[in-house]
Amino acid sequence: MNDHSITLPPYAKSLGMRIDSYEGDTPIIAMPFSDIVIGRPGFLHGGAMAGLLEIAAMASLRSALNKRGIDYSVKQINVTVDFMRGGASQTSYAIGKVNRLGRRLANVEAAIWQEDRERIICAAHMHYLVRTKE
Amino acid sequence: MNDKIKPLTPSWFPKDGQFNIDIIRKGFNQSGHTKFLGMEYVDGGDDWLELSLDWREELVADEQSGVLASAAIISLLDNATSLAIFSKMKAFKPQATMDMRVDYLRASPKGARVYGRGECYKLTSKIAFMRGVAHNGDIDDPIAHVTGAFIQTSLSAFIGKVNK
């Protein structure tokens, strides 16, 4: 069953990101290529790629937390981003994966591809502090 | 297709590669993502450079708290460290971010301007090692720390001929 309670924050919407589809319960986030995400001419800005990864990672974590049925607040602790290939002038897709969800800590990774899902252009792993809302 | 490929260096990138801080000041934020984020040049030295951006509703990651998207801070630090490397090289050479690790020490509060200071602390023939700090005006009270590396690329990779 798809979880449609995932909403994207203003930052994601202003960069044109949308939920493209779902893989199981996890949303795949799409970001169109446009003037406002360009770094060097013709390529995505590294920060925009990091932004897409952040949104995809958070969406996968929200989806995992929703399954627990408890309201959580989530705070990002850190991120490591690997830039592997230039982001070409086409739509980018990203999905997050929760590798471990503990009571306090979540280990999450995310990856971006463009036309070929097997060809990852940028990836990241993040730690989040997870707290039960009172 | 191939005949459509033309050099795609940034418009502010001088043809002779000569380094000039005024070129950064006037040019780096005139288009693309840096323009969208509203980055501005603050200050710089031989191996460091500071940029800033203003809080804006459009850049918020959490509507309840108004906290900025952490990726806006990554973009700021990416640009500040990249430009710090040009400053240390005293040249504009094509480079790409290889990796970045960012630790978020605290949230940047709603409405607060964010400063990003980047430093290139070691330059080798191919790799530039960098570090940096994001803050709200007091560098001793940082929002985030970054470390990472940039790799010098061939011009052809930079403009997109060989990337497959």
CATH number at residue B29: 3.10.129.10
Of A37, A43, A83, the CB nearest to B98: A83
Token look-up 């471990």 returns A100
pTM of the model: 0.90
Contact A74, A58 (CB under 8 A): yes
Range of the domain at B64: 21-162
CB contacts, 8 Å: B102 with chain A: 78-81
- Tell me how far apart the alpha carbons of residues B68 and B107 are, in angstroms, rounded to a whole number: 8
DSSP E strand boundaries for chain A:
18-23, 26-31, 72-83, 92-101, 105-113, 120-132
- Is A1 a residue whose pLDDT tops 50? no
The answer to the question of residue B9 being in a domain is no
At position B73, the amino acid (one-letter code) is: I
* Number of Cα atoms under 13 Å in the Cβ half of residue A49: 32
CB contacts, 8 Å: A14 with chain B: 58-59
The answer to the question of residue B7 being in a domain is no
As a whole-number percent, the residues of chain A with pLDDT over 90 amount to: 82
Flag if B32 and A9 touch (Cβ within 8 Å).
Answer: no
pLDDT of residue B6: 42
CB contacts, 8 Å: A10 with chain B: 57-61, 63
Q: Consecutive sets of 10 residues in chain B, 164 residues long: mean pLDDT of each?
A: 45 68 77 91 93 94 88 95 92 90 93 96 96 96 97 70 44
Which among A46, A60, A69 has a CA at the least distance from the CA of A107? A60
CB contacts, 8 Å: A7 with chain B: none
The answer to the question of residue B15 being in a domain is no
The answer to the question of residue B140 being in a domain is yes
* Mean of all residue pLDDT scores within chain A: 92
Contact A91, A28 (CB under 8 A): no
Residue A76 contacts B where some CB pair is shorter than 8 Å: yes
Could you give the number of structural domains in chain B?
1
The answer to the question of residue B151 being in a domain is yes
Residue A120 contacts B where some CB pair is shorter than 8 Å: no
Flag if B63 and A82 touch (Cβ within 8 Å).
Answer: no
Q: What is the pLDDT of residues A58-92, one digit of tens each?
A: 999 999 999 888 788 899 999 999 999 999 999 99
DSSP code for B65: T
Q: What is the pLDDT of residues A17-46, one digit of tens each?
A: 999 999 999 999 999 999 999 988 889 999
At position A60, the amino acid (one-letter code) is: S
Flag if A37 and B33 touch (Cβ within 8 Å).
Answer: yes
pLDDT of residue A69: 81
pLDDT of residue B15: 66
The answer to the question of residue B120 being in a domain is yes
Q: What ipTM was estimated for this complex?
A: 0.92
The answer to the question of residue B11 being in a domain is no
- Is A133 a residue whose pLDDT tops 80? no
The answer to the question of residue B12 being in a domain is no
